[in-house]
């Protein structure tokens, strides 16, 4: 299988080389699940290539194994697939595993790179039979690109127009049978007609502590980092259910273990270094805590609009919605209401506010 990537995903490079790029990390110790350019080579070097090596998402893996086996038996390409869920849970990785298992090439791009009609037409026309086209952030596809995709997905045709006004002609250009894998953090923003053209739609779930500890142990093994099971669990607990964050933290903690200790990641070493990185027991970082504190201290616990929050903490709305909020919602620290965001009593407790504040807040929740 080969990987042709528009944004450098799935192209191997040595992880050690990359760790130097992180040396300024301690100045700004915020670790989020969105992809940062300099982390991509590192991510690529540790991506699993088989379902056995891919940890977690077991229900989805079972479905995919059957779908792949059936497609191979029928000697047909896979149905189009849509993966949705918070960033960092392994949507791109899974697409790579699928391509590997099907024994086909994968072409990786993202919706913002398909701005002009010729971008999407060019990619579709360059595909070969059975290949996989992976479009990340597919909810950001513009209307024109979407309309080019409909007949391509449904009937493997491109409807092209030639000529001007009265002499305009429509040409149906056949395409090879391909599989589209779309990934999105916002399934709700996909248009109905586009969503309906995917044969399989699946949500990726946050990982359990045990699953993340396995991911961490695997990554440490690949990077030759010594780690105890307790050390792996200590990192897992603060990784917000997200393998991408877990993998980044392994590297940060490993730097700390090397410089301050003997290089081995134990529970104490992991906890000490994560405390220094200001990642708390819930895995929250400074931005998350600032967001919750802002709502508590300036807006009496909410509700308050996301635009107001974004302006006050100096983040953009998309980062708050796509990166911070999914985990805060899942952890029960934040609630989304029609009138805005509200913090929960658990958030008050977690941030060390007194019972009196919590009681006041509880009455607001009733
Ligand atoms: N790295 C990132 N996601 C992973 C997963 N699900 N399993 C193993 N390694 C990973």
Please tell me whether residues 57 and 192 are part of one structural domain.
Answer: yes
Please tell me whether residues 215 and 268 are part of one structural domain.
Answer: yes
Cβ atoms within 10 A of the Cβ of 21, count? 14
What residues are labeled active site?
A: 91-92, 136, 185, 244
Domain presence at residue 281: no
Q: Comparing C-alpha atoms, which of 235, 226, 238, 246 is closest to residue 268? A: 235
pLDDT confidence of residue 218: 98
User: 3-state SS string over 284-339?
Assistant: CCHHHHHHHHHHHHHHCCCCECHHHHHHHHCCCHHHHHHHHHHHHHHCCCEEEECC
Burial of 12 from C-beta contacts in 10 A (0-12 / 13-18 / 19+): exposed
Please tell me whether residues 301 and 165 are part of one structural domain.
Answer: no
- The answer, yes or no, to whether any atom of ligand 1 lies below 6 A from the CB of 51, is no
361: pLDDT strictly greater than 80: no
Contact indicator for 87, 33 with CB cutoff of 8 Å: yes
Domain presence at residue 165: yes
Boundary residue ending a domain (251, 276, 301): 276
By alpha-carbon position, which residue is closest to atom 2 of ligand 1?
Answer: 243
Domain presence at residue 135: yes
Please tell me whether residues 85 and 67 are part of one structural domain.
Answer: yes
Please tell me whether residues 84 and 229 are part of one structural domain.
Answer: no
Please tell me whether residues 126 and 239 are part of one structural domain.
Answer: no
Range(s) of the domain holding residue 355? 286-363
- The answer, yes or no, to whether any atom of ligand 1 lies below 6 A from the CB of 91, is no
Please tell me whether residues 34 and 143 are part of one structural domain.
Answer: yes
Cα 305 to ligand 1 centroid, rounded to whole Å = 35
Residue among 48, 240, 247 to mutate when testing ligand 1 (max atoms within 8 A of CB): 48
Name the percent of the chain in helix, strand, coil, to the closest 5.
55, 15, 35
Please tell me whether residues 69 and 132 are part of one structural domain.
Answer: yes
Mean pLDDT on 215-222: 98
Q: What is the pLDDT of residues 136-178, one digit of tens each?
A: 999 999 999 999 999 999 999 999 888 887 888 888 999 999 9
Does the N-terminal peptide bond of residue 361 adopt cis geometry, omega within 30 degrees of 0?
Answer: no
pLDDT confidence of residue 14: 35
Domain count across the chain: 3
Q: What is the pLDDT of residues 28-80, one digit of tens each?
A: 445 566 655 667 788 888 999 999 999 999 999 999 999 999 999 999 999 99
18: pLDDT strictly greater than 60: no
CA distance 71 to 85: 25
- The answer, yes or no, to whether any atom of ligand 1 lies below 6 A from the CB of 218, is yes
Please tell me whether residues 253 and 221 are part of one structural domain.
Answer: yes
Please tell me whether residues 33 and 149 are part of one structural domain.
Answer: yes
- The answer, yes or no, to whether any atom of ligand 1 lies below 6 A from the CB of 246, is no
Cα 6 to ligand 1 centroid, rounded to whole Å = 22
Please tell me whether residues 221 and 324 are part of one structural domain.
Answer: no
- The answer, yes or no, to whether any atom of ligand 1 lies below 6 A from the CB of 241, is no
Provide the mean pLDDT of the chain. Answer: 89
Measured N-to-C along each axis, helices 91-102 and 58-74 cross at an angle, to the nearest 10 degrees, of: 30
């Amino acid at each position: 299988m080969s990987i042709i990537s528009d944004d450098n995903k799935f192209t191997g490079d040595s992880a050690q080389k990359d760790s130097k790029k992180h040396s300024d990390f301690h100045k700004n110790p915020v670790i989020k699940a969105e992809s940062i350019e300099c982390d991509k080579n590192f991510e690529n070097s540790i991506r699993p290539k088989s379902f056995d090596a891919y940890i977690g998402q077991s229900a989805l893996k079972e479905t995919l194994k059957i779908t792949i086996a059936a497609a191979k038996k029928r000697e047909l390409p896979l149905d189009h697939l849509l993966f949705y869920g918070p960033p960092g849970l392994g949507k791109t990785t899974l697409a790579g595993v699928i391509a590997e298992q099907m024994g086909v090439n994968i072409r990786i791009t993202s919706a913002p790179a398909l701005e002009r009609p010729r971008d999407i037409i060019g990619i579709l026309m360059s595909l070969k039979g059975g290949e996989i086209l992976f479009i990340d952030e597919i909810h950001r596809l513009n209307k024109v690109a979407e309309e080019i995709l409909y007949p391509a997905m449904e009937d493997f045709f491109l409807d092209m127009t030639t000529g001007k006004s009265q002499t305009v002609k429509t040409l149906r250009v056949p395409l090879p049978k391909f599989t589209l894998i779309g990934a999105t953090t916002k399934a709700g923003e996909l248009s109905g007609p586009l969503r309906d053209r995917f044969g399989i739609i699946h949500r990726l779930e946050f990982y359990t502590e045990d699953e993340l500890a396995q991911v961490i142990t695997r990554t440490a093994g690949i990077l030759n980092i010594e780690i105890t099971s307790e050390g792996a669990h200590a990192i897992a607990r603060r990784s917000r259910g997200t393998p991408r964050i877990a993998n980044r933290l392994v590297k940060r903690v490993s730097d700390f273990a090397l410089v301050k200790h003997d290089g081995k990641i134990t529970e104490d070493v992991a906890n000490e270094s994560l405390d220094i990185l200001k990642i708390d027991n819930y895995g929250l970082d400074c931005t998350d805590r600032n967001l919750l504190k802002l709502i508590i201290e300036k807006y009496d616990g909410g509700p308050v609009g996301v635009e107001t929050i974004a302006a006050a903490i100096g983040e953009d709305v998309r980062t708050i919605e796509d990166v911070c909020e999914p985990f805060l919602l899942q952890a029960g620290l934040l609630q989304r209401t029609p009138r805005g965001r509200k913090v929960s009593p658990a958030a008050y407790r977690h941030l060390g506010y007194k019972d009196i504040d919590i009681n006041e807040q509880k009455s607001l929740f009733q």
